[in-house]
Amino acid sequence: MANDSKTWRCGKYELSFDRPRIMGVLNVTPDSFSDGGEHFDPDAAIEYGLAMLDAGADIIDVGGESTRPGFTPVNPDEEARRVLPVVRALAKEGAIVSIDTRHVAVAKAAVRCGASIVNDVTGFTDPKMVEFVATSTCGVIVMHAGEVAAPTRTHATVQLDTSAAAFVAEKAREAAAEAAREAEKPARRRGKLLGEPKTEAKLPGGVVQPSLPFGDPEPAPEPTDEQKQEASAAEQVAPVAEAAANPEPVPEPNDHLAAMMRRSARREEAYVPTSQLRRFTLPDSAPIMRRVMGFLSDQARTLIHAGVSRDRICIDPGPGFGKTANEDIVIQRETAKMASLGYPLMCAVSRKRFVGAVSGVTEAAARDAATFGVCLGAIQAGANVVRVHDVTGFAQFLNGYWAVAKPQPRRAFVAVGSNLGHRCDNIRAARDMIAEIPLTCVSNCSRIYESEPAYETRQDAFANAVIEIKTELAPLVLLDELMKIEVELGRDRSKKAKVNGPRTIDLDLLWMDGEIHGGKKLRLPHPLIGERDFVLVPLEDLMHDPARFFRYNGVEVKEPEDRVGHIVGELGRM
């Protein structure tokens, strides 16, 4: 019930969560970890984004900077050049577009181009980004990108050598140190008595020979051949030991996210043997979740205090960002706790390293099946939005699961029209065939009306009606079933058929409870409802004041005199 009551307001759109929402990943980058830059060209990216919408994506997440481990930061100007044409084109097709960026200039430009969501991988830690979203109406995604455990210290590796040469070198160092101490004693006494500074000269092997303040220096004893060999060995070992004890510091870059992801990559890839074996398979969840949930809660409150309404905020624990595979599994197992915070919760695990670790799949692009399994666990625990690369596969997976796991009939309206053959019989036949669609029933029908032809006026008048149904199918699945009915009743949808020309049957999915969709294949609500008299008049048989209803749902509804396809008569009941 808590999941069903959540809504996410993103600009002019409002997403409900009576079913999980699918966010398709669109990387407009040359170096993405999963697709290797397949959609770097803007035209290719737009085409792929539209294909994801037609496959079942509710949201398209457009990113112009790869944030994989070891990534190279991208200049905001270059990032904007990559993403803005794609955002503009997808938004024009009615898509809910999310801009995946950490740069406020890019976020501002993308929202101006039609983006409805700002997905900030740094969790709105930049005050300028907070200030911007507070002055807009877009939805926001607060992501945790940080280390849930202190970065592992890297110590210099010291190789213990028990060979005879190492033993001889150690003895030479001890002898040299002892000789230096003995030689310094008289020089210190003379220096103190005479008030002169002491100067030193080094002999081979590290032996220190003090110089006297005046007179001839005391000659040093000539070392034997054995002492010379020991001193030479000591000189060779000393620089190596000194370098191992004092490794050169690695300069920390200014880009904290890039530095953190480099550390994360090292933590995953480096093998550090240890004698401190764990008693349990996973680390304790309490300190990990305190950091993740504490950060998400704090940043959400910061946004609310800045003026961002609570129903605009979605949270994301940021799998893979500064976290080991064990830590990611711990976080995923605590999905229900994160969902209890009350914000829409995102599951963004697609093809991540920890998914490969638990499935044994090395190649990122081959991890989709394992991704679906992790996502299913998250959905069952309360995740609301699932961010995936393979939209087609996951939509099929989710539709199959949802059909048997979550009985959920929803109301929808289908417009029916015909101006070829026996028009009323065609409409009644379509009604009967709609009633045979799986998981679907016809609950009500308008009367059949006669209307003027719209758009293409040089043709016969139409018979029109609207059918109210209840269905448990996903919108795109229902649309495919409606198009099959058109084909069975003789509708010609070939390229040679005239657009808006004569047809035996025409079925349009007008509206479905809780659904918003964009793309070439399906737009919900239907974008032309508000100008079609032959749709709005039949709807008056099924609901009170359809014009007001659709205006509330964001559809522009024209006055009766300004509409097309005016009703001219009534042809009877269904």
Q: Which residue in 200, 242, 205 sits closest to 226, CA to CA?
A: 205
The two structure tokens encoding residue 138: 């877009």
pLDDT band (50, 70, 90) for residue 502: very high
In this model, does residue 515 exceed pLDDT 70? yes
Task: Reduce the DSSP state of residue 445 to 3 states and report it.
Answer: strand
Tell the residue number behind the tokens 């304790």, with chain if given: 284
Mean pLDDT of the chain: 84
CA distance 95 to 527: 12
Q: How buried is residue 507: exposed, middle or buried, by Cβ count under 10 Å (0-12/13-18/19+)?
A: buried
Of 273-282, 461-470, 476-485, least confident by mean pLDDT is 273-282
Q: Count Cβ atoms below 10 Å from residue 8 Cβ, excluding itself.
A: 24
CB-based contact 8:311 (threshold 8 Å): yes
What is the rounded average pLDDT of the residues 460-478?
Answer: 97
What is the rounded average pLDDT of the residues 124-142?
Answer: 97
Of 211-225, 294-308, 496-510, least confident by mean pLDDT is 211-225
pLDDT band (50, 70, 90) for residue 249: very low
Digit-coded pLDDT (tens) for 384-431 = 999 999 999 999 999 999 999 998 899 999 999 999 999 999 999 999
Of residues 245 and 408, the one with the higher pLDDT is: 408
CA distances for 249 relative to 243, 261, 270, 548, angstroms = 12, 18, 19, 67
In this model, does residue 184 exceed pLDDT 60? no
Helix (H) or strand (E) holding 290: helix 285-306
CA distance 513 to 477: 15
CA distance 464 to 417: 4
Residues 5, 9, 11, CA angle at the centre, nearest 5°? 165
Percent of the chain with pLDDT over 70: 75
Task: Reduce the DSSP state of residue 259 to 3 states and report it.
Answer: helix
Amino acid at 125: T
Tell the residue number behind the tokens 């990534």, with chain if given: 71
In this model, does residue 97 exceed pLDDT 60? yes
CA distance 20 to 30: 30
In this model, does residue 247 exceed pLDDT 50? no
Digit-coded pLDDT (tens) for 25-42 = 999 987 665 555 666 788
Return the pLDDT at 206: 44
Amino acid at 102: R
Return the pLDDT at 1: 44
In this model, does residue 360 exceed pLDDT 70? yes
In this model, does residue 140 exceed pLDDT 70? yes
Of 4-8, 115-119, 529-533, least confident by mean pLDDT is 4-8
CA distances for 560 relative to 8, 299, 364, 564, angstroms = 33, 48, 55, 9
Return the pLDDT at 205: 44
Which of 69-73, 218-222, 342-346 has the largest mean confidence? Answer: 342-346
Return the pLDDT at 187: 45
In this model, does residue 204 exceed pLDDT 90? no
Cis peptide before 273 (omega within 30 of 0): no
- What DSSP string describes 31-48? --TTTTTTT-SHHHHHHH
Of residues 213 and 4, the one with the higher pLDDT is: 4
Of 3-17, 52-66, 117-131, 424-438, least confident by mean pLDDT is 3-17
For residue 385, what are the β-bridge partners? 21, 346
Of residues 169 and 344, the one with the higher pLDDT is: 344
CB-based contact 568:534 (threshold 8 Å): no
Task: Give me the count of residues in the chain.
Answer: 574
Digit-coded pLDDT (tens) for 256-302 = 666 655 665 555 554 444 445 667 889 999 999 999 999 999 999 99
DSSP 8-state assignment for residue 564:
B
